[in-house]
Amino acid sequence: MKKILIVDWLDKYGGAERVLTVLNKHFDFDKCFTLINIMSNGDLNRVFNGKKIEIVESNLRLVKSGFRYLFFLFPFFISRFKSNDNDAIIISSSFSVAKGFKKQSNQTHICYYQARNQRYIWDDENIYFTRIQKIILSPLLYILRKIDINHSRRPDFIIANSLFVKDWIKKNYNIDTPVIYPPVDTKLFKLQKNKEDYFITTARLEPYKRVDLLVKAFNKTQETLYVVGDGSMKKRLKRIANQNIRFFDFLEPNKVMKLVSKAKAFVHAGKEDFGIAPVEAQSCGTPVIAYNLGGLSETVIDGKTGILFNAQSTDAILDALTRFKQTEFNFEKISKHAEQFSEENFITNFHNFIDSKTKQ
């Protein structure tokens, strides 16, 4: 039986791509459909575990890194893909439009929602578009939402990656879904009891991650903050950051693990759909200071494995830092808490779900 992977796009290696690595390791896909592949060869090897797999792209490949400006065409291009493999199992990893892949009648399509899909068209917080832009684009956004709802009906089965995403799917698509938490490499991110005197965050440096809030908050302290990641906000963040904030490009997993494991806390100000990096930190025994909404409210226990704050503001972050200094943490218990999100649990749950549905 052929196994086919559908991915929105392949560009940089982040949390969603770590899930792809695990899926590829255990399902050994024969083919991958994606809107565009601009990922480095090194990252592709990580995603596909060194296997040379056939990658089918759309015509968006012609615009290369500027493809996001054509976001309104994503649903069209995903619908153009077609696989004639009989009795194939299709697994889509969707944070945008991958769920819209049109399967044949003799194929089974299981979609794993890595995030709220197409957040840019559902955004009500003016993160992706200004208020004026949203007014101008409102007819287009309305049409795209209608198409998105229609495409949500294409998979045979949908799995959410968190309770937060499950609720979002129910609200926007009126579909009930099970939850399978993403895998965390608890074997790589091992317990480290010897912490050093710095805080850390790892993230794509894009507006929705709200790393700007962390920089502004740490600008008001003498605490050292390590920022690991790259993205469109990097130059601006470096420009406004004081000397106590140090920036790193994306690093190899082993280097990230060493930095995260020795940090006295991992800090995060964005609203995550799940948030793999903060769970990796907890796997190392590193407490997490995070915004108390989204997936992190499910993975961080306030006062036990970290500190949660209730507003996306510099004052809330500074207050959380104060509470952090007043709290004693048990690094072993923090690491033990993260074990429930292991790769083994993810694959067991995923296989059990597929087995139960394919038998039906």
Strands (E), the chain: 3-7, 31-34, 54-57, 89-94, 108-113, 157-160, 199-202, 225-228, 245-248, 265-268, 288-291, 306-309
Q: What pLDDT score was predicted for residue 231?
A: 86
For residue 207, name the pLDDT band (cuts at 50, 70, 90): confident
Do 6 and 23 contact (CB within 8 A), yes or no? no
Lowest mean pLDDT among 52-56, 265-269, 356-360: 356-360
48 and 122 assigned to the same domain: yes
Q: What pLDDT score was predicted for residue 134?
A: 87
- Inform me whether the pLDDT recorded for 128 exceeds 90: no
In a domain, 351, yes or no: yes
82 and 152 assigned to the same domain: yes
Q: Which range marks the domain in which residue 273 is found?
A: 199-340
Q: Which residue has the tokens 């649990």?
A: 345
In a domain, 272, yes or no: yes
Q: What mean pLDDT do residues 47-65 have?
A: 93
For residue 232, name the pLDDT band (cuts at 50, 70, 90): confident
In a domain, 12, yes or no: yes
The residue with greater pLDDT, 190 or 123, is: 190
In a domain, 190, yes or no: no
Q: What pLDDT score was predicted for residue 84?
A: 87
7 and 146 assigned to the same domain: yes
Q: What are the pLDDT digits (tens) for 252-265?
A: 888 999 999 999 99
Q: What mean pLDDT do residues 39-44 have?
A: 92
Strands (E), 203-275: 225-228, 245-248, 265-268
CA separation for the pair 57, 226 (Å, rounded): 36
In a domain, 188, yes or no: no
In a domain, 192, yes or no: no
52 and 163 assigned to the same domain: yes
59 and 172 assigned to the same domain: yes
The distance in angstroms from the start CA to the end CA of the chain is 17
Q: What are the pLDDT digits (tens) for 141-190?
A: 999 999 999 999 999 999 999 999 999 999 999 999 999 999 998 888 99
In a domain, 78, yes or no: yes
In a domain, 191, yes or no: no
Phi, psi of 350 (to 5 degrees): -70, -45
Q: What is the CATH number of the domain that holds 330?
A: 3.40.50.2000
Please, what is the average pLDDT of the chain? 94
Do 188 and 253 contact (CB within 8 A), yes or no? yes
157 and 213 assigned to the same domain: no
310 and 347 assigned to the same domain: no
- Inform me whether the pLDDT recorded for 360 exceeds 70: no
Q: What are the pLDDT digits (tens) for 292-340?
A: 999 999 999 999 999 999 999 999 999 999 999 999 999 999 999 999 9
Q: How many domains, the chain?
A: 2
For residue 251, name the pLDDT band (cuts at 50, 70, 90): confident
Q: What mean pLDDT do residues 92-120 have?
A: 94
Q: What is the CATH number of the domain that holds 152?
A: 3.40.50
Q: What are the pLDDT digits (tens) for 254-295?
A: 899 999 999 999 999 999 999 999 999 999 999 999 999 999
48 and 150 assigned to the same domain: yes
